């Protein structure tokens, strides 16, 4: 062994050193390379974000014909809550970014990037506001997590309503696309919130009138319920006059209940806005007609599809129950994105499921069908109205 090491020890030692350099140096080199790769990846991400931000800023600037410069700033925090469409509760939007727009050194506009909510969170919209005219001159959608097949129904034409939208409009209302009501509402919430922040930062006065809703209920009168779906008790005018008014399913003013001082046009406009945002009633289902002679009641429920579910009910002779099984016509489809996991049969299975639960025990508390939530909710509302209508006829209410 000694001779072996004497002859080959040096050789083996050098080979060991070379292997050591290869192994330990390789680990060291790999460590340095990996650290560098992380840095490069972060730098690339940072570069990408910077490019995206630059593209966004350029798109904001492009909305202002006279704009020459953009300056990012932190806007005021404004707490505001809005009702989401479809009885989905409330939502508080927030400002993600805000930018002053200049022509030279003169500020001519402001851009608020609002995080709103359509069907999903993350509906981020930039609202460009001309401060000389208090006008929203355009929008840029930064990001959205909406169902794209539905979101795509919001066409360029639809977006034109945000161009030159006067903020001194008494009541802001965005025309909703039937297939994309939740996304449409998300834009409306964003615009309303942008106006709130703009009002705080630029001293803009949001126009308003003195009208308050005391309560809202459904109209069960067969003579009027077809056009006047809701009845709202309101206080209005400088002397706080109390009056009950009819409202349509879309919350448009229909008329006064009985006698009283009619509302002004501005009050009617504001009433529509505050009624639709109040969440006091649902317009998911409504009465269409009632024939006293045949005791046939026709009701509609708005599920997922734009065409409503039609439920035809024949009341019994004593008007305290239902005769036979209602006839249901439905074009609901359960294989839409909304119902991706629905495992039952085709329409109107869900509708019958719910109404049969009600017919079984007369209890309006019925169980919804899994993965068909929107249709279920519409039918629950229909059952609620139906039960109340019967109670009204029998004088129980």
Interface ranges with other proteins (CB under 8 A):
6-7, 10-11, 14-15, 17-18, 21-22, 25-26, 28-33, 35-37, 39-40, 43, 46-47, 50
State phi, psi for 170 to the nearest 5 degrees: -60, -40
Please state the closest distance from residue 20 (CB atom) to other proteins, in A: 10
Query: Could you tell me where the beta strands, DSSP code E, fall in 18-120?
Result: 69-73, 82-83, 90-91, 94-103, 106-117
Please state the closest distance from residue 9 (CB atom) to other proteins, in A: 9
- Please give the structure tokens belonging to residue 72: 């990012």
Q: Between 11 and 317, whose beta carbon lies closer to other proteins? A: 11
Tokens 């505001």: give the residue: 80
Q: Between 21 and 365, whose beta carbon lies closer to other proteins? A: 21
- The answer to whether the peptide bond before residue 348 is cis (omega within 30 degrees of 0) is yes
Q: Between 50 and 325, whose beta carbon lies closer to other proteins? A: 50
Please state the closest distance from residue 286 (CB atom) to other proteins, in A: 59
Q: Between 16 and 265, whose beta carbon lies closer to other proteins? A: 16
Please state the closest distance from residue 111 (CB atom) to other proteins, in A: 24
Q: Between 38 and 343, whose beta carbon lies closer to other proteins? A: 38
Long-range contacts of 149-154 (CB under 8 A, 24+ apart): 149/337, 150/119, 150/179, 150/180, 150/183, 150/337, 151/118, 151/180, 151/183, 153/177, 153/179, 153/180, 154/180, 154/183, 154/184, 154/187
CA 93 to centroid of chain Cα atoms: 11
Please state the closest distance from residue 107 (CB atom) to other proteins, in A: 29
State phi, psi for 273 to the nearest 5 degrees: -65, -50
């Amino acid at each position: 062994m000694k001779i072996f090491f004497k002859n080959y020890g040096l050789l083996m030692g050098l080979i060991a050193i070379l292997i050591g350099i290869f192994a330990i140096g390789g680990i060291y080199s790999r460590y340095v390379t990996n650290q560098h790769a992380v840095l490069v990846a972060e730098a690339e991400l940072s570069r990408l974000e910077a490019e995206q931000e630059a593209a966004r800023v350029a798109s904001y600037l492009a909305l202002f014909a006279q704009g020459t410069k953009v300056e990012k700033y932190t806007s005021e925090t404004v707490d505001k809550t809005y009702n989401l469409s479809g009885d989905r509760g409330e939502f508080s939007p927030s400002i993600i970014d805000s930018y002053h727009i200049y022509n030279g050194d003169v500020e001519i506009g402001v851009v608020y990037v609002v995080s709103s909510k359509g069907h999903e969170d993350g509906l981020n919209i930039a609202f460009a506001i001309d401060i000389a005219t208090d006008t929203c001159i355009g929008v840029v959608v930064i990001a959205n997590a909406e169902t794209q097949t539905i979101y795509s129904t919001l066409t360029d034409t639809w977006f034109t309503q945000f161009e030159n939208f006067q903020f001194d409009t008494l009541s802001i209302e965005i025309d909703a696309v039937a297939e994309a009501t939740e996304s449409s509402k998300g834009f409306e919430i964003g615009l309303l919130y942008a106006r709130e922040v703009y009002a705080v930062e630029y001293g803009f006065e949001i126009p308003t009138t003195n009208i308050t809703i005391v309560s809202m209920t459904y109209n069960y009168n067969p003579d009027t319920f077809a056009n006047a779906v809701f009845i709202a008790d309101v206080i209005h005018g400088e002397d706080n006059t109390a009056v009950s008014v009819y409202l349509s399913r879309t919350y448009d003013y229909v008329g006064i209940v009985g006698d009283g001082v009619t509302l002004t046009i501005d009050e009617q406009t504001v009433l529509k806005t505050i009624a639709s945002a109040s969440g006091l009633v649902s317009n998911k289902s409504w009465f269409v007609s009632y024939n006293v002679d045949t005791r046939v009641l026709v009701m509609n429920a708005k599920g997922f599809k734009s065409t409503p579910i039609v439920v035809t009910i024949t009341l019994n002779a004593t008007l305290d129950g239902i005769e036979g099984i209602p006839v249901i016509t439905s074009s609901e489809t359960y294989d839409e994105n909304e119902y991706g996991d629905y495992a039952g049969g085709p329409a109107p299975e869900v509708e019958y499921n719910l109404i049969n639960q009600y017919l079984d025990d007369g209890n309006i508390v019925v169980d919804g069908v899994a993965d068909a939530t929107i249709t279920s909710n519409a039918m629950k509302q229909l059952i609620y109205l139906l039960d109340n209508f019967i109670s009204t006829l029998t004088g129980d209410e």
